[in-house]
Amino acid sequence: EAGVTQFPSHSVIEKGQTVTLRCDPISGHDNLYWYRRVMGKEIKFLLHFVKESKQDESGMPNNRFLAERTGGTYSTLKVQPAELEDSGVYFCASSQDRSKLFFGSGTQLSVL
Amino acid sequence: AQKVTQAQTEISVVEKEDVTLDCVYETRDTTYYLFWYKQPPSGELVFLIRRNSFDEQNEISGRYSWNFQKSTSSFNFTITASQVVDSAVYFCALSEAQGGNTGKLIFGQGTTLQVKP
């Protein structure tokens, strides 16, 4: 069974540009989460989807971040326009029953 | 407020040594879950264990063992006879369950474990 897949694995962009990260959860998992780790800090929750609905987006830092999950399958996280402080590793996780989260390998985002 | 503290930033041991990774948590809830995840060089976070707040029994899985003590709000992780493949970043995490388990995790800062041959 395929795990959680994230694309791209690395992205280097300039300040002010737009970047879109993609996450493909494990098939059948209704719950999808985005987390991120900025340099030297803890991994922090961004938001939680149940199917295509946003269950909790309390961790989204500001309105430059937009997450979608059309059709309840894969999800995208767009940052527009990117700022230097957005650099970090963005993790996606999925879960069937919320008791155990399966994480992807993350997308390393560098904003220059 | 909920918080997880992993005071050890980096630990280096020689293969076959035992090593304990510390985790201290803060929460006002009486129902919660504690987790450990491993992040090998490949980058993904690998689930190791989940414990609920009502189960204080220690757990052993092969060379891994976990010591949960509510009295000290700690959930420590011990690797016995460490191996080079254990080299990774280890994260402790907390999830509140009151009102339903959301899967929203609060992570510690992580402990980088290096096991030298």
Is B103's CB within 8 Å of A95's CB? yes
How far apart are alpha carbons A65 and A55 in whole angstroms? 16
Contact in structure between B33 and B49 (CB atoms under 8 Å): no
Inter-chain residue contact A103 with B105, CB threshold 8 Å: no
Residue B103 pLDDT class (50, 70, 90 cuts): confident
Residue contact A93–B45, C-beta within 8 A: yes
Query: Cα separation of B79 and A55, whole Å?
Result: 37
- Biggest alpha carbon–alpha carbon distance for chain A: 38
d(CA A19, CA A5): 17
Task: Give the per-residue pLDDT at A40.
Answer: 77
Residue of B nearest to A6 (CA): B44
Does the beta-carbon distance from A3 to B44 stay under 8 Å? yes
Residues of A in contact with B101 (CB under 8 A): 98-99
Residue B99 pLDDT greater than 80, yes or no: no
Contacts of A75 (CB under 8 A, 6+ apart): A22, A23, A25, A32, A34, A49, A67, A68, A69, A92
What sign does the dihedral A28-B104-A89-A79 (CA atoms) show?
Answer: positive
Residues 6+ apart with CB under 8 A from B7: B22, B24
Collapsing DSSP to helix, strand or coil, B68 comes out as strand
Q: Look over chain B and give the mean of its residue pLDDT values, rounded to a whole number.
A: 92
Residues A39, A91: Cα–Cα separation, whole Å: 14
Closest by Cβ to A48, choosing from B42, B50, B104:
B104
pLDDT, tens digit (0-9, with 9 covering 90-100), for B37-78? 999 998 899 999 999 898 888 888 899 999 999 999 999 999
- Residue A1 pLDDT level (bands cut at 50, 70, 90): low
Tally of CB atoms within 10 A around B106: 22
* pLDDT at position B100: 67
Q: Residues of B near A (CB-CB distance < 8 A)? A: 4, 33, 37, 42-47, 50, 91, 101-110
User: Residue A95 — left, alpha, or beta (φ > 0 → left; ψ -120 to 50 → alpha)?
Assistant: beta
> CA A106 → CA A55, B55, B68, distances in Å?
22, 32, 29
What tens digit of pLDDT does each residue of A14-70 get?
999 999 999 999 999 999 999 999 987 899 999 999 999 999 999 999 999 999 998
Cα distance between residue B77 and residue B23, in whole Å? 8
| Alpha helices for chain B (secondary structure H) | none
